[in-house]
Amino acid sequence: MARLVALIISIAVFTGASRAGAAESTTYTCALGKAFECTSYYGCQEWSAIEMSLPRFVRVDLNAKTIVSLDKEIPRDPTKIASVEKLDEMIVFNGIEQRSWSMTIGEDSGELALTAVGNGEVFSVFGTCISP
């Protein structure tokens, strides 16, 4: 019985430590998937990240405040992150690059949501991130 209790405590401590490590991570690798382009004139249209000339994979670095393409077929200059904040188990990023943009990554789920707003147009991109 004592061994079982020790095993349960060990699992609980290990699980808590791994969650804490993920929450404190400073680097995320993300896969971009579905994307939508919306305009006031044409409405919304669904695209893949590739069809929108977005990299399939990116690395988000909180320390360097950059988003870097990991897709060799779609090289891009690093995107600068202007601000990073934590809000209700989400990490929220904002910046400006040709358009105003905002992105969130769920700390537990790894779900990514990105919006970019321009002159009469809105882009939304969804993906998934892991913290190595």
Q: Each residue's pLDDT tens digit in the chain (132 positions)?
A: 333 333 233 333 333 333 344 446 789 999 999 999 999 899 999 998 888 889 999 999 999 999 999 998 888 899 999 999 999 999 999 999 989 999 999 999 999 999 999 999 999 999 999 987
**How many angstroms separate the CA atoms of 131 and 123, rounded?**
25
Closest CA to 56 of 70, 76, 77, 36: 70
DSSP state of 24: T
CATH topology of domain 26-130: Porin (2.40.160)
Angstrom distance (rounded) from CA 79 to CA 116:
13
pTM reported for the whole predicted model? 0.77
